[in-house]
Structure 1
Amino acid sequence: MRIPDDTLEQIRERARIDEIVARYTRLVPASRGEAKGCCPLPDHDERTPSFYVNPGTGVFHCFGCDRGGDVITFLELVEQLTFREAVEQLAEQVGAAILTDREQAHRSSTEGTPKLLRAALEIAAEVYATAITDDPAAASAREYLTERGFTDAHIRQWGIGFAPRGRTTVLGAHLATRGLPANAGHDAGLIRRGRAGQPYDTFAGRLIWPLRDPQGRIVGLAGRSLDDPGHNPDRYRKYVNSDDSALFRKSDTLFGLAAARPAIVRQRRVIVVEGYTDVMAVAAAGHPEVVGVCGTAFTATHARLLSRLLGSDGEIVVMFDADDAGQTAAWKIAVACHQFATVTLAVPGKSGSDPCQLRADHGDQAVRDAVNARQPLIRQILGRLLADADTPEKAAVAARRATAMLGELTDDVLILRYRRWLAGELGIPEGQLQVPAPPSPPPSLKVTPIERLDCIRDLAAQLVDDPTLWSRLQLPEVLELADLLPDRYCAVVERAAVAPPEIPDRWAWLLSTAPDEAARAAVTALRAGAPLQREPMRAVSECARAYGPARLAAVRADTADPDSVGRFAQLAAGLSRVMK
């Protein structure tokens, strides 16, 4: 359902944009009460700050990647959230309610509010963490962890629990005692109903790991079965995770990221493993910079999460199971991340082994040795293809497969160097290896140098603030707005001229009604990093000098218009007059 405008305005007022942005990049004071820093948005790496924040107007704009907006837009972009997810996250931070009474009742009867879901999950995690030490039925859970070299300290560190079994729900009574509504457990996916309508706990009899978002807030649970898979193979499920909800999406979650975050940022390195116990094992061995994909394929969202922490020159150490499936999954990480990180491969022992088993069998030092022995992943994976190429036929097959894999990469230097390496390994001329060209990325709209000029932005901003200003200026009749301002800024000024007269904030109206991201970026480019205001005719004169030559060239180039010659002469005369 639509979030009321007054609620959105309340959130924008309470959530200071400079405080939110400062969590993602270092801001330093700029002129006129603004702040600037290096852009923290995905897919933009820069060393010279071009990202401006204006606390007074509540907007940001990056003049490097040409994106901008308000605090909600910023959170959407930097965390890759939907609009509603960004609003809900900000609302929780500033203590604002975003649902009407009618919406609250509807949401509570269906899926529950994020706050209610999180409360239920926190209580469940507490109950299960107590049960693993106090419940005699948890002996098998403790034994499972002990056999893998984990102690009570590790159990407490990771908040591991055990979900007791019962004829009916055990958790429901705890939720009721803590004051949660009767449907809270069902909405959070913690309690279900059997065929006869009897409630039961989703994770009953399972070893439990709390799942947390990058900020450390609980978003779901993961449960591992302790039963014999041969006892009831048709119903056996090794792992059960929380259902996707307003808080949790399995494909977007990296286990252990909140705990690993400081070490990842400090070392500019992350170790990626597959399972929950793999994360625990690598961390226990002295590498806290470890996260786990935990039962799902590595996704684009995972790559974005890591790129924001690593920057453009970090390292991703992939430590998947040493089998064919693990190596195939490792290659997908290289494809997703090679543009912003060096991707290496650490092999945890012989085929079929994993980091947890390696540590259990050989101790912490064996895990550290495996990490220290890491090699470039791309070369290792391609090398496996060539290992059996001992006949011309096998070499031809290996060459086709290897070049197809290189075709999945987009970094020209890597493709060139590995093609050369492959040719050397196969003993053939490099030209025989035809690596398919990667698909061209979609064109990105960049701010042009002329649009960055203070005089251009100043004149456009003044015309937005005062839509009658253009008619009051003493300008030659030949001059049009497009002769002094780039098209994108002209569109902003023209939209401002038709804004409803009763609106209290024309800039906010321009942002909220922008038809697309490019239009919104044009607004924020004028609002954030705003230049010192000039006397209007001085601004016109400077714009004529800066933009006039490009405008004259465009008119001269329009050979399809028979009047272009006359128009060129008139425009040149008009621009000359206002330059004086």
Structure 2
Amino acid sequence: MRIPDHTLDQIRQRATIDEIAARYTRLAPASRGESKGCCPLPDHDERTPSFYVNPATGVFHCFGCSRGGDVITFLELVEQLTFREAVEQLAGQVEVAIPTEPEEIRRASGTGTPKLLRTALQIAADVYATTLTDDPGAEAARRYLTDRAFNDDHIRAWGIGYAPRTHTTLLGPHLATLRLPTTAGYDAGLIRQGRTGQPYDTFAGRLIWPLHDPQGRIIGLAGRSLDDPSINPDRYRKYINSDDSALFRKSDTLFGLCAARPAIVKQRRVIVVEGYTDVMAVAAAGHPEVVGVCGTAFTAAHARLLSKLLGPDGEIVVMLDADDAGQAAAWKIAVACHQFATVTLAVPGERGSDPCQLRADDGDQAVRDTVNARRPLIRETLRHLLADAGTPEKAAVAARRAAALLDELTDEVLVLRYRRWLASELGIPEGQLRVHTPAAASPPPEVTPIEHLDCIRDLAAQLVDDPTLWNRLRLPDVLEPADLLPDRYCAVVARAAAAPADTSDRWAWLLSTASDDAARAAVTALRAGAPARREPMKAVSECARAYGPARLAAVRSAAGDPASVGRFARLAAGLSRVMR
């Protein structure tokens, strides 16, 4: 069933592009009421912001990957959704009703879709949450949480549940009662087929945490076993997560990110811990800016998620278990994140402790004190290596190990400063340290692309708004828009001039009639990132200085054509005139 245009217009008006985009990347104010940040779209990892949103016009554009559009297009791209899925998600957030399809059509088209999978997962989470609260068989699960200083408010806030151990599936009848397809539980990884053919619940006998994406939508479950590991050690698995699916990949997911995101953006700081109860403990102690990995090592995908929220010069506080494995994992986080954030270390108590245990033993203040006592992680790691360097032989071993660690860093300033500090600590000349500094030359300064220059976008936008402007300017006859603007902006200007006379909004008309993605990207590049307007002749003069040399070079390259020789001379004179 087609979604009516007036419904789509309502969604675009209520779901503002800056608010939606800010859920995926940190935005900073730019000119003319716009905002900019690092591009959050898939397969575009950048460090210099080139992603612009314009709340007034409701569009976005990235000058790095040339993608752009309205808020619906943004959600399609960033979440890899279909058009209808993006519309339905936004409609639910801004409370716009969408005309419903007949039930049989909806059910037939919904099998296996992300929406259906989320529905099944949410039903499971609700069933398990009720079981934890009401089922006498969940006493051990409730005691597990109580022993770790969590109360009913904490349990409700995190949606914790318990999956009882039964002879057959508990979830199957619930899903059937709600008229979901019989395959929904299997597709979502909630139900499996036993060796005897009898279905059983995947998470049976486990304490349950629902897992969410950064936007707060459920994407999977995590379950902790409450069994004694010594009873059946070969089959014991302390934690299991939902299988990787279209919704969930544990290597891309940070537990608690949705709840932590506002505090992370506001404080420009994030605390990284290891377990689900560790996240709960640190948040309960007064630090909501906490996230945890979901049963995997910290990955490059995790680093990208945090970099987009922190922006440049944020802080990552690593608060993993106080043992050798935890500290080794902390160093890997420093390696992955040191280029965009200051990485500090907060050690949660004595060896073998973790944030949850620290809070259960010593209270909320102990957690806060640990965070406040954090120190630079790189220095603490190197200092740990030097702790047993009392003899020349041990000092040499420590220096070699430290050199190997510094080899993993790519920030030249950090490497050189820590090389100097390390030499001072060892009491040897800096030149005696065999510490490798990155051999690759630092990248050249970034050059702003011609299409990204304010004057170029300004003149093109003015010509779109007023197609008669070019003819009213007193310009040399030799000059054409193509002499001052790149080809794709000239194409937008030409299309705008061809709009029907009664067109009230040329920008909307250009977007709706764009022939392909490239044409649409050119429109959004102008609409999303145009700076404050200049006086037209000043814009022409600046464009001549910025784009004129490239245009002259193109004309000169065609010098074999006699007409081009005369054109070059006339164009050079014309550009010189408007640059005065």
Under a length normalisation based on structure 1, what TM-score does the superposition of the two structures give?
0.79
Which residue pairs with 1:513 in the alignment? Answer: 517
- CA apart distance, 1:312: 2.7
* Residue number in structure 1 paired with 2:337: 337
For 1:568 and 1:45, how far apart are their aligned partners in 2? 37
Aligned to 2:16, which of 9, 19, 22?
19
* C-alpha distance after superposition, 1:161-216 (max 9, x if no partner): 11112111112122223333322222221111112321111111111111122233
Query: 8 Å contact 1:458–1:530 — kept in the other structure?
Result: no
Q: Do 1:176 and 1:182's aligned partners in 2 also have CA atoms closer than 8 Å?
A: yes
Question: 5 Å matches for 1:559-574?
Answer: 568-574=568-574
SS of the residue corresponding to residue 37 of structure 2 reads coil
In structure 2, how many angstroms separate the alpha carbons of the residues matched to 1:455 and 1:363? 59
Pair 1:550-2:549 in alignment: yes
Greater Cα shift, 400-409 or 542-551: 542-551
The alpha carbon displacement at 1:273 in A equals: 0.8
Quote the Cα distance in structure 2 between the aligned partners of 1:297 and 1:99: 43
Cα distance in 2 between the residues matched to 1:562 and 1:428: 70
Alignment of 1:482-521 (within 5 A): 482-486=482-486, 489=489, 505-508=509-512, 510=514, 512-514=516-518
Match of 1:435 in 2: 436
Q: SS at the partner of 1:192?
A: strand
CA distance in 2, matches of 1:444, 1:172: 60
Distance 1:418 1:167, change over 3 A: same
Task: In structure 2, list runs of 5 or more residues that go unmatched.
Answer: 41-45, 93-97, 500-507
Q: Which residue of 2 aligns with 1:301?
A: 301
C-alpha separation in 2, matches of 1:459 and 1:277: 55
In structure 2, relative to structure 1, the CA distance for the partners of 1:152 and 1:422 (3 Å cut) is same
Q: Using the TM superposition, name which of 145-154 and 436-445 deviates more.
A: 436-445
1:91 to 88, 91, 108: 88
CA distance in 1, matches of 2:414, 2:481: 48
C-alpha deviation, 1:275, in angstroms:
0.6
CA distance in 1, matches of 2:551, 2:157: 68
Instruction: Name the structure 2 match of 1:277.
Output: 277
Give, in whole Å, the separation in 2 of the partners of 1:459 and 1:279. 50
Q: In the superposition, relative to structure 1, how do residues 427 and 284 fare at CA in structure 2: closer, same or farther (>3 Å)?
A: same
CA distance change for structure 1 residues 428 and 68 in 2, over 3 Å: closer, same or farther?
farther
Structure 1 residue 334: Cα displacement: 1.4
Letter aligned with residue 549 of structure 2: A
The structural deviation recorded for 1:535 is 12
Q: Which residue of 1 aligns with 2:130?
A: 130
CA-to-partner distance for each residue in 1:62-110, whole Å, 9 max, x for gaps? Answer: 6799874433554477xxx35337873443222669999999777644x
For 1:15, what is the secondary structure of its paired residue?
Answer: helix
Distance 1:552 1:331, change over 3 A: same
Distance change in 2, residues 1:492/1:100 (3 Å): farther
- Preserved contact between residue 141 and residue 162 of structure 2 (Cα < 8 Å): yes
Q: In the alignment, is the contact (CA less than 8 A) between 1:39 and 1:62 conserved in 2? A: no
Q: CA deviation digits over 1:467-492, x for unaligned, max 9?
A: x9999999989767653324664576
3-state SS of 1:60 partner: strand
1 CA distance for matches of 2:82 and 2:447?
Answer: 27
User: Residue 420 of structure 2 aligns with which residue?
Assistant: 420
TM-score of the aligned structures, taking structure 2 as reference length = 0.79
8 Å contact kept, 1:252–1:301? yes
Measure, in 2, the Cα distance between the counterparts of 1:268 and 1:428: 38
- Secondary structure of 2:16 counterpart: helix
Aligned equivalents of 1:100, 1:40: Cα separation in 2: 42
**1:464 to 1:101, Cα distance in 2 relative to 1, 3 A:** farther
Q: Distance in 2 between matches of 1:101 and 1:561?
A: 69
Q: Separation in 2 of the partners of 1:11 and 1:315?
A: 40
Q: Residues of 2 paired with 1:101 and 1:208: CA distance?
A: 32
Tell me what 1:53 maps to: 54
Larger deviation: 293-302 or 392-401? 392-401
Counterparts of 1:59-74 in structure 2, within 5 Å, are 59-61=59-61, 68-72=68-72, 74=74
Q: How far off is 1:552 after superposition?
A: 7.3
2:24 is equivalent to residue 36 of structure 1 = no
Three-state SS of the structure 1 residue aligned to 2:270 is: strand
Identity %: 63
CA 29–425 in structure 1, closer or farther in 2 if over 3 Å, else same? closer
Q: Does 1:176 align with 2:181?
A: no
d(CA) in 2 for partners of 1:394, 1:102: 74
Shift of 1:281: 2.2
SS of equivalent residue, structure 1 residue 146: helix
In the alignment, is the contact (CA less than 8 A) between 2:72 and 2:86 conserved in 1? Answer: no
Q: 1:446 to 1:488 in 2, by over 3 A?
A: farther
- CA distance in structure 1 between the aligned counterparts of 2:376 and 2:298, rounded to whole angstroms: 18
Secondary structure of 1:303's partner? helix
The residue type equivalent to 1:404 in the other structure is A
Counterpart Cα distance in 2 of 1:452 and 1:559: 27
Q: Tell me how far 1:454 sits from its aligned partner.
A: 4.1
Aligned partner of residue 248 in structure 1, secondary structure: coil
Question: 2:556, 2:568 within 8 Å by CA — same for their partners in 1?
Answer: no
Residues 463, 493 of structure 2: 8 Å contact kept: no
C-alpha distance in 1, partners of 2:103/2:479?
55
Partners in 1 of 2:158 and 2:333 — Cα distance? 26
Q: Which residue number corresponds to residue 167 of structure 1? A: 167
Residues 475, 188 of structure 1: CA spacing in aligned structure 2 closer, same or farther, 3 A cutoff? same
1:220 offset after TM fit, Å? 1.5
> How far off is 1:123 after superposition?
1.9
Write the mapping of 1:218-297 to structure 2, written as runs, cut at 5 A: 218-297=218-297
Residue 43 of structure 2: aligned partner: none
Q: Deviations over 1:295-332 (max 9, x none)?
A: 11112332233334433333221111122221121112
Partner of 1:84, secondary structure, is coil
Instruction: Quickly say closer, same or farther: Cα 1:477–1:239, change in 2 above 3 A.
Output: same
SS of residue in 1 equivalent to 2:81: helix
Corresponding residue of 1:324: 324
**Offset of residue 528 of structure 1:** 3.0
Conserved 8 A contact 2:548-2:575: no
Distance 2:381 2:83 in 1: 39
Paired residue type of 1:230: S
Alpha-carbon separation, structure 1, partners of 2:527 and 2:445: 21
Whichever residue aligns with residue 234 of structure 2, its letter is D
Given the superposition, is the C-alpha separation of residues 532 and 421 from structure 1 closer, same or farther in structure 2, using an over 3 Å criterion? closer
- CA drift of 1:403 comes to 2.9
Q: 1-side partners of 2:457 and 2:27: how far apart? A: 28
**Counterpart residue type for residue 132 of structure 1:** L
Greater mean alpha carbon deviation, residues 402-411 or residues 442-451? 442-451
Aligned counterparts of 2:87 and 2:442: Cα–Cα separation in 1: 32
User: Which residue identity lines up with residue 375 of structure 2 in the other structure?
Assistant: Q
Query: What letter is aligned with 1:452?
Result: L
User: Which amino acid in the other structure matches residue 358 of structure 2?
Assistant: L
Would you say the 8 A contact 2:16–2:55 is kept in 1?
A: no
